[in-house]
Amino acid sequence: MNYQKVLEEIRDEVEPILKKGKIADYIPALKRVDPSHFAISLSLLDGRTFGIGDVDFKFSIQSISKVFTYSMAVSLFGEALHKRVGHEPSGNPFNSLVQLEYEKGIPRNPFINAGAIVITDMLNSKYKAKTFDKILDFIKSVSNNQNINYDKEVALSEAEFGYRNMALINMMKSFKNIKNNVDDIMDIYTKQCSISMSSRELSSAMLFLANHGIDTTTNTQYLTSSQAKRVNSLMLTCGHYDASGDFAFRVGLPGKSGVGGGIVAIVPEKMGICVWSPRLNLQGNSLAGTKALELFTTKTGLSIF
Ligand code: GLN
């Protein structure tokens, strides 16, 4: 398979829609990103890498961080964690408050904001003041890259305008599903969303999930095969909020988006993928990024179905 040629074709075909959609503007720091960026990176398990566009430009990973924190929690707490967060698609926007009240403070899944916040709270019960450092260490470790950090300006902006996330945390606290201090949880969650990574780094960080939980570069087992299956299953069914069905229908791969315009995906036993284009569709997922992944699986036949 000539992957480089496939990536070039995709770039040409998405060109006309790169101006469609709207950049995330809920915080000033994200609005400043040049919306014309575009990148696709592939990291194969055999060590080869391919890319096109701004593959080394670091952007805000936002909700892609939920994949890493859920992976940490699954390996630490196993099945028991699902007493406090479900594993069903929400069918609702990522920051919705309505369903959370009906369902008594138990979020539908770990990939909407409320669910990820509960996961952060679980990690905080274990790691206390070291929680954010542990999250960053995990991401550095699965990426085999020490040069990863969070963007302080984005984090400050997230904290300043995080009214809805604060509301979610407080509502869950009222249902006793947040065990720690609400301000500490808000601080850790905003920092994890503000981590900056490039598409090249993110595609390589997905390799352990493409390989039954094991990083082949270092032979480190981060998850059991069964735990990796669960992370990937949730990416397929819940990774794109209320557009998860549409993403599965069009792309057919486990994937997770973030409002920074990144989407990660895996092809089991083959590769990690990351696409980046900052303009978003109505559900807050990268518009051209989703199209690029749809073209990728159509052209290569590499969907899971
Ligand atoms: N920081 C964003 C928020 O909490 C993350 C949401 C996202 O990427 N969908 O609102």
pLDDT tens digits, one per residue of 22-39? 999 889 889 999 999 999
Mean pLDDT value of segment 184-188:
98
Provide the pLDDT for residue 26. Answer: 87
**pLDDT at residue 232 above 90?**
yes
pLDDT, tens digit (0-9, with 9 covering 90-100), for 104-156: 999 999 999 999 999 999 999 999 999 999 999 999 999 999 999 999 999 99
66 tagged catalytic = yes
**pLDDT at residue 250 above 90?**
yes
In the three-class reduction of DSSP (H, G, I as helix; E, B as strand; rest coil), residue 248 is classed as helix
Mean pLDDT value of segment 9-21:
97
DSSP state of 47: S
Q: Name the catalytic one among 33, 241, 286, 291.
A: 241
Ligand 1 pocket, mutate which of 30, 63, 188, 257 (most atoms under 8 A from CB):
63
Residue 64: pLDDT band (50, 70, 90) is very high
What separation in Å is there between the alpha carbon of 142 and the centre of ligand 1?
A: 22
User: What percent of the chain stands above pLDDT 70?
Assistant: 100
**pTM tops 0.85:** yes
Provide the pLDDT for residue 24. Answer: 95
Pick the closest to residue 292 from 241, 257, 268 (CA basis): 257
153 touches 29 (CB < 8 A):
yes
Q: Which residues surround ligand 1 with Cβ inside 6 Å? A: 62-63, 94-95, 113, 158, 165, 193, 258-259, 284
Lowest mean pLDDT among 32-36, 201-205, 286-290: 32-36
What separation in Å is there between the alpha carbon of 8 and the centre of ligand 1?
A: 30
**pLDDT at residue 224 above 90?**
yes
Mean pLDDT value of segment 87-108:
94
Provide the pLDDT for residue 130. Answer: 98
203 tagged catalytic = no
What separation in Å is there between the alpha carbon of 16 and the centre of ligand 1?
A: 27
The C-alpha angle 202, 189, 33, rounded to 5 degrees, equals 55
Buried/exposed 158-175: b ≥16 CB within 10 Å, e otherwise: bbeebeebbebbebbbee
What separation in Å is there between the alpha carbon of 46 and the centre of ligand 1?
A: 33
Can you tell me the distance from the alpha carbon of 82 to that of 107, in angstroms, rounded to the nearest whole number? 10
What are the φ/ψ torsions at residue 63 (nearest 5 degrees)? Answer: -75, -5
Mean pLDDT value of segment 61-66:
98
Q: Name the catalytic one among 63, 90, 194, 244.
A: 63
